[in-house]
Structure 1
């Protein structure tokens, strides 16, 4: 008995579609992985053929590029946030030192330490402006305020710098303040209120010294 061509082809297709013939074939992920490696092999082969020196020349080029990238990373470092000193301390809503203190205490009472630290640092700077220790200057940053205030209040230079760093870390560095952070800045605020600027004292001492020197002459 002779079987025609089409029924024979269909019978063969049904037979080959049985699971027993496909048990050892790679899965979808393996086939995709094999296709990727085949593509990468073709790409490297093409690059090697186009590079002087063949495969060795390609390896040298790759190592050179890696070395350049490593040198740039070592020289420039990883990308960093924009320095906090580029952002101003106060917003567009002018408030007194007392108002900033009250806001800081309200935030502290609720355990909102980030906002409490921010408001207490603003209270410090605003208080120094109200006392004419600092000139009123829009656009001043926390770092700038700490540096300028440290010249007038040298005994508190380190604490002012630390307070400015706390403000910057909380406001722009993505860090969280703690109760201790707020207590330190609040204590600094109270101490600064009781401190007289060194400029007035040094000016008086200089005047007295010059007077005594003139009298002696």
Structure 2
């Protein structure tokens, strides 16, 4: 013979009804509750606060969003599919505007930064030139421009026109190279400005700017430099 096992709330309800029958309920009421009595007793039992757990904060937030921000009802009078589409377009536009704003603020912060050191390692001019050429081949114009200007400055140091030092900036290098470069001094200042603009993200370089920097580097290589004679040297 199979025995039906009631859940705990239903079992408690059944016990309540059964106990009530023993405490003076009319004798025609059966000791075992019928289905309707058991159901009503179970509903009364389950309605007690002890069986209801308070929703968490996140559950309440999600319930509120689900009830008030349903994209299907966001546009009154519009079909559900059109309302949903308009909501997603609006959200996408807001995200694009937010990204543009963050990018603009980042560039503005970079623009106000002081000049950073020009060199980050001890590579010679030839190594820096190779790095610039390799970057240009793969279309990384920013790296190409930056590395080629570094190669120009390092080559001037190697030729004795200037003496680079730790912490030197692009504009400091341009000022030091003004006299040795002579008529190329103005272009050296332009190259230093382009270096800073690219390095700090104010300018997204193009192949044209890479070509200009390459041609400038070649002119510096061919240019005769006005070198200072060592102190105490006697000219014939």
| Band the TM-score falls in, shorter-chain normalisation | 0.5 to 0.7
Deviations 1:100-158 (A, max 9, x none): 00000000011110000000000000000111111131111011111111121121011
Unaligned segments of structure 2, at least 5 residues? 1-67, 69-107
Partner of 2:104: none
- Structure with the greater alpha carbon radius of gyration: 2
Quote the Cα distance in structure 2 between the aligned partners of 1:86 and 1:108.
Answer: 25
Partners of 1:190 and 1:140 lie apart in 2 by: 23
The structure whose residues are more often helix, as a share, is: 1
- State the match for 2:225 in structure 1: 197
Task: Choose which of 191, 199, 204 in structure 2 pairs with 1:176.
Answer: 204
**Contact 2:111 / 2:202 at 8 angstroms: preserved in 1?**
no
Q: TM-score, normalised by structure 1?
A: 0.53
Count matched residues.
Answer: 128
Report the Cα offset of residue 180 of structure 1.
1.1
In structure 1, stretches of 5+ residues that fail to align are 1-27, 29-78, 212-217
- Scaled by the length of structure 2, what TM-score is found? 0.49
Higher relative contact order (CA 8 A, sep 6+): 1
- Alignment of structure 1 residues 12-91 onto 2, 5 Å: 81=110, 83=112, 85-91=114-120
Question: 1:198 offset after TM fit, Å?
Answer: 2.0
* Cα distance change on mapping 1:83 and 1:157 into 2, 3 Å: farther
- Cα distance in structure 2, aligned partners of 1:179 and 1:168: 17
Over aligned residue pairs, what C-alpha RMSD do you find?
A: 2.6
Q: Which runs of 4+ in 1 moved over 3 A?
A: 79-85
